[in-house]
Each structure stands twice: as C-alpha cells, then as structure tokens.
Amino acid sequence: MKPKIDWKEKAKKNAAIEAVRHVKDGFIVGLGSGSTAAYAIAEIGQRIHKEGLEILGIPTSSQAFFLAVQHGIPITTLNEHPVVDLTIDGAD
C-alpha cells in the first residue's frame, strides 16, 4: 500500500516544483535546507538527468550538499561563483 501524502507535504512538493521551473541552463543556484528545498533538489536532479540541464548548485548546509550530490547536482561555492542566479529555500 502506498503511503498517503498529507496536504502540507503535497503543497511543499508543488511549491518546489514551481520554483524549479525558474531554473535555466547555466544558472548558479543556491540550494536551501529543509523539506521543501529537499523536494526542489530532487526535482533539479531529475531535470539534469532528463533534460541535460547544466547548472551549479551552492548548498547552504551539509544536508543540502549531500542531497545535491545524491541527485547528481554539480557543486560549487560562493567563493568560486559570488553571483547567484536563483536561490530556492523553504519557509518551513
């Protein structure tokens, strides 16, 4: 039996998916922490895999770093890329 996703989790996932639609090829993307950002990181990873999207991610925490690596997002730092095109983080 598939577990039911409550309305809050569904809303977080939908918000993350909508945010990731703004990510364009060549972007430097700040990757936040928390459950909504985790959905976004997974979605970015899917876009990289399916679309060949080329971005670099700057994680804001070790949690975000490990998730990004797990989902195949290339990592960079603010020292290497001080201008960020978009940052995705949740308010949860």
**Residue 92: which CATH number?**
3.40.50.1360
Could you tell me the residue range of the domain that residue 72 belongs to? Answer: 31-92
Per the domain annotation, does 43 fall within a domain? yes
Q: What pLDDT score does 71 carry?
A: 98
Cβ–Cβ < 8 Å for 81, 28:
yes
pTM, two decimals, is: 0.90
- Express as a percent the part of the chain with pLDDT over 70: 93
> For the chain, what is the domain count?
1
Per the domain annotation, does 84 fall within a domain? yes
Q: CB within 8 A of 47, min separation 6: which ones? A: 20, 23, 53
Per the domain annotation, does 58 fall within a domain? yes
Cite the beta strand spans of 1-92 per DSSP E. Answer: 28-31, 56-59, 86-88
